[in-house]
Amino acid sequence: MTVLFASRPVRFLAVLSLFWMGVPAPAQATEHPGQAELVSEVARDTGKSPQTLNALLDGAKMQQSILDAISRPAEGKPWKDYRPIFLTDKRINDGIAFYREHRALLEQIGRQYGVAPEYLVAIVGVETSYGRNTGKYKVLDALVTLGLYYPPRATFFRGELKTLLELPDNHLAGSIDTLTGSYAGAQGWGQFMPSSIRDFAVDADGDGHIDLQNSLPDIFASVANYFVKHGWVSGDPVAIRAQPDAAAAEVVVQDASPQWPLEQLEVWGYAPLQAMDPGRLSSLQTLEGANGREYWLTFQNFYVITRYNRSPLYAMAVNQLAQAIAAGVDQADAAR
């Protein structure tokens, strides 16, 4: 008792001595807002050490550049400005070369999952330029910043941060504190969020480790599995152009889910420019293109792509890039 009691003034005097000598006392680590509660939840749900979790989070930094980036997403642009970002000659030609280089693997996974390979290529083409740009931000910094310092989306991103901390080590490309990705915390060639890794990522190469940064089988199969689990229909169309008549009715579209038979949209004044089953369920997208307004009839597979990214602009870019890649591959095959 005497020793414990006596130690307090000794430590106090030591700190005072440092102050008098002009030496600052050691700084106390500052927790992120809500860190203690988050650590408690993850430790309870997984059995992971609170000390280890706190050490990880103590090392994460709130990044103002991440808050700035989320306030100006590309999806805020009109189609005429959004399309040229992704439908460039370089991205198309790189996609054709990428498909041809990895053709055997892509087509094997395409057959296995029923997803046309060009759509797997288009996803990694739009997301990361075929793996060349997977993101410069630390994933942990991104999710701490958005989950704990960004109230408009805090619920979603805090959930993703919690999932990241809960994922088994063999579901990630490296240790949590070394992972890099987008400003939103997405990682790997297909830019999967932690919950998508948990729910849809696949160990396709059978090595006991899901690696969306270094294993092409895991990358391609995970994208394909994501599509299938969200309702992809093998062999079905994604979108076709429509021609409105002068008296076309205004159609209010809440999301990209197919809601009306094609014949109903025709009655309302939107004629498909390709022959299609009139009973096929569809939706309508109106885009501001470089040459004026464009009308598109979209189907279940278009809706599935919007489950990857909810913007219809994104889904249209993926669709058009996939079609351009497939056409280029066919042309190269014919020229051989």
| DSSP string computed for 87-111 | --HHHHHHHHHHHHHTHHHHHHHHH
In angstroms, rounded to a whole number, what is the distance separating the alpha carbons of residues 147 and 138? 14
Task: Determine the pLDDT at residue 53.
Answer: 97
Task: Determine the pLDDT at residue 261.
Answer: 97
Token pair in block for residue 125: 């083409």
3-class secondary structure, 255: coil
Please, which residues bridge with residue 196 across strands? Answer: none
Nearest to 296 by CA among 288, 284, 305: 284
In angstroms, rounded to a whole number, what is the distance separating the alpha carbons of residues 218 and 202? 6
Which residue type is seen at 200? F
Task: Determine the pLDDT at residue 29.
Answer: 54
The pair phi, psi for residue 184, each rounded to 5°, is -95, 0
Please, which residues bridge with residue 88 across strands? Answer: none
- Distances in whole angstroms, Cα of residue 187 to Cα of each of 60, 110, 191, 263, 286: 17, 22, 4, 42, 31
Catalytic residue status for 250: no
In angstroms, rounded to a whole number, what is the distance separating the alpha carbons of residues 184 and 143? 7
Instruction: Say if residue 290 is exposed, middle or buried (CB neighbours under 10 Å; 0-12, 13-18, 19+).
Output: exposed
Token pair in block for residue 222: 């995970």
Pairing of strands 260-261, 137-138: unpaired
Task: Determine the pLDDT at residue 181.
Answer: 97
The per-residue pLDDT for range 297-331, each reduced to its tens digit, is: 999 999 999 999 999 999 999 999 999 999 999 99
Task: Determine the pLDDT at residue 16.
Answer: 40
In angstroms, rounded to a whole number, what is the distance separating the alpha carbons of residues 82 and 313? 7
Can you say whether residue 31 is alpha, beta or left, with left for phi > 0 and alpha for psi between -120 and 50 degrees? beta
3-class secondary structure, 178: helix
75, 127, 160, 294: which is the annotated catalytic residue? 127
**Residue indicated by tokens 């989320």:** 70
Whether the CB-CB separation of 233 and 301 falls below 8 Å is answered with yes
Token pair in block for residue 315: 């889904």
Whether the CB-CB separation of 293 and 270 falls below 8 Å is answered with no
**What residues of the chain score a pLDDT lower than 70?**
1-29
The per-residue pLDDT for range 139-168, each reduced to its tens digit, is: 999 999 999 999 999 999 999 999 999 999
In angstroms, rounded to a whole number, what is the distance separating the alpha carbons of residues 297 and 242? 6
Q: In the chain, what are the helix, strand and coil shares in percent, each to the nearest 5? A: 55, 10, 35
Please, which residues bridge with residue 192 across strands? Answer: 187
